[in-house]
Chains A and B, each alone.
Chain A
Amino acid sequence: MMLHTICPVTSVEHVGPNIIVIGFRSPEIAASANAGQFLNIKVNETFQPLFRRPFSVYHVEEETVKIIFQVFGLGTQSLVAKQLGESVDVLGPLGHGFRVDDNFETALLVGGGLGVAPLPLLTRQLSGKKNIATFLGARTKEQIVPSFLENIQTATDDASLGFKGTVVSLLDNYLKVHQVRKPKIFACGPNVMLNALGELAQRRNIPCEVSLETTMACGIGICQGCPVERVQQEKKYSLCCKEGPVFDVQTIIFPNAQH
């Protein structure tokens, strides 16, 4: 059930360099959001910026929903300027989240940069029910946000924290030395990372779901602006907002990548 609701801002936390976590009070969204779903947020009351901005649901605490983002452009600048008690206009929860079922025993959570966003809520949904190992990658240690996660290993490009290299290599190495019972990979991050992860998953025959980030306008399937190319499906494209943002990695074609 998607809602269109006005939500007061309950918290603004700086958790890294230009990395912000904002909380909104919305009992309805907090009660219904699944990991991997997103909110499409109108950041101010003007038409500049014009579009809403999509954010993964980062975490849920009682009646509060949290998102995480890096201050980058006009939309995120408007959001970070919000004072406690000010409100934002939210559509959500939107899209299909990660599929949690009985077909796996160990969840391998992989986040690249702020692709960590959907993982805390997923951890909460899985905790106590599945084995969890979490792999976080970023350029530097400052960009690693380890909150609300379990059993974390890290990779950084500059070796400032953990493994030196990519998070996909980190996971590959882990799988070489650990016996993992019935694994499934859940991931979010840059397309180049997800594409490499898909190849790893295919090579090791591990199911893998990825949450994609695309440019979106409406977030609800009416503008048709967020096509994701599919592999041998009935139709050439699916809409990221409505049929995703979570897809089985083996069913999609990343831009400039061929299966």
Chain B
Amino acid sequence: MPNTEVTIGSLKLKNPVLTASGTFGYGDEVKELVDGSKLGGIITKSLSLKPRDGNAPNRIVETSGGMLNSIGLANIGVRAFIEQKLPYLRELDTVIIANIAASTLDEYCEVLSLLEHENGIDGYEINVSCPNVKEGGLNFGTNCDMIAEITRRLRPLTTKPLIIKLTPNVTHIADFARSAELAGADAISCVNTFVGMAIDIRTKKPKLSTVTGGLSGPAIKPLALAKVYEASQAVNIPVIGIGGIMTWEDAIEFLLAGATAIQVGTANFIDPTAGVKIADGIKSYCEKSNIASVTELIGALDAKRDNSILSSWL
């Protein structure tokens, strides 16, 4: 029986599969369909200090192999989350990571502090990279100094793992990964959605109310994989791979590229049990390949780094 356990900072995940923020709700919405305890962990929907309505419709568009979204961090707010959603999540036998979004540095700190007083949260993922909100979001995520500042401000507030979720919408993601690492992050999530756009040629209007949105799904997998490879070459902290992972085969690719764990996002919308199926698939792959521990796969890509054009800026 292969060991599927992986470690993110002080967190031990029973398998490397997490649900990506905003793609598994608060967990309770899918309890009739999927046993969350079979996942390595659940990352909550982004939590903000105050409830957020989210953006006006139209919020989603299907593209070729992709999903373009402009949800706008709709959520019930951190206090309602603690009262209404956390009790259910506490019952699950899996790691619970709270994703935090904010418009200001102080807000990030306040949300984390509120959660820090509650049992049941095992770590934090900091969303500095949402492409669909005007305040915070990409403004923070595309500035290395800001990423360092957010990390430095949050670091003393918790001993639990602090994960910084990076945007791919930068030239050299390695620089941003290093900024997070140097400022004290325990891990980075790599990557959030790519900025994308779709136009209705009949009306000559954008299909999303916010004109542009975040692209996810199978269409972005090769792009995300390259970002994970680049980031994992640049830092010594774990990289959590995200981007178009639909199957266990996709997950193995991300592990080989250097991810310690992976997040399943858009796939949950098509099959809420996708994460569990991917975890089972990784385990079977290890069994059939005589791999004793899934950690043997992490960064085990058989490639000469110097052959990559990325190496020139690493």
Contacts and interface: CB of A to CB of B under 8 A. Distances in A.
A2 B22 CA distance: 21
Contact of A223 (B64, B65, B71): B71
Interface in B25-65: 25, 29-30, 32-33, 51, 53-54, 56-62, 64-65
A223 B54 contact: no
Contacts of A255: 57
A52 interface: yes
B270 A51 contact: yes
Interface of B is mostly: loop
A88 B143 CA distance: 46
Interface in A224-244: 224-229, 235-237, 242
Contact of A47 (B29, B54, B57, B217): B217
Given A217-B269, A221-B25, A50 B71 contact: no
Contact of B62 (A50, A221, A224, A237): A50
Interface string B74-86: 1000000000000
A225 B58 CA distance: 8
Contacts of A224: 22, 54, 59, 71, 74
A131 B62 CA distance: 42
Contact of B270 (A2, A50, A236): A50
Interface of A is mostly: loop
Contacts of A215: 58, 60-62
B168 interface: no
B64 to A, nearest CB: 7
B101 interface: no
A146 interface: no
A235 B273 CA distance: 30
A4 interface: yes
Nearest to A75: B62
B33 A50 contact: no
Interface in B219-272: 246, 266, 268-272
A217 B60 contact: yes
Interface string B269-298: 111110000000000000000000000000
B217 A222 contact: no
A47 B269 contact: no
B99 interface: no
A48 to B, nearest CB: 6
A42 interface: yes
A153 B59 CA distance: 37
A51 B69 CA distance: 13
Interface in A193-218: 214-218
B196 interface: no
A42 B270 contact: yes
Interface string A42-54: 1000011111100
B54 A227 contact: yes
Contacts of A225: 59-60, 69, 71
B268 to A, nearest CB: 7
B59 A227 contact: yes
A222 B25 contact: yes
A47 B71 contact: no
B59 A222 contact: no
A52 to B, nearest CB: 6
A220 interface: yes
Interface string A1-42: 110100000000000000000000000000000000000001
Interface of B: 22-25, 29-30, 32-33, 51, 53-54, 56-62, 64-67, 69, 71, 74, 217-218, 246, 266, 268-273
Nearest 3 CB-CB pairings of A with B:
A225-B60, A222-B25, A218-B269
Given A224-B22, A225-B60, 18 more contacts: A1-B32, A4-B272, A42-B271, A48-B64, A48-B65, A50-B65, A215-B60, A217-B67, A217-B270, A218-B272, A220-B33, A222-B269, A224-B54, A224-B71, A227-B56, A235-B53, A236-B53, A237-B54
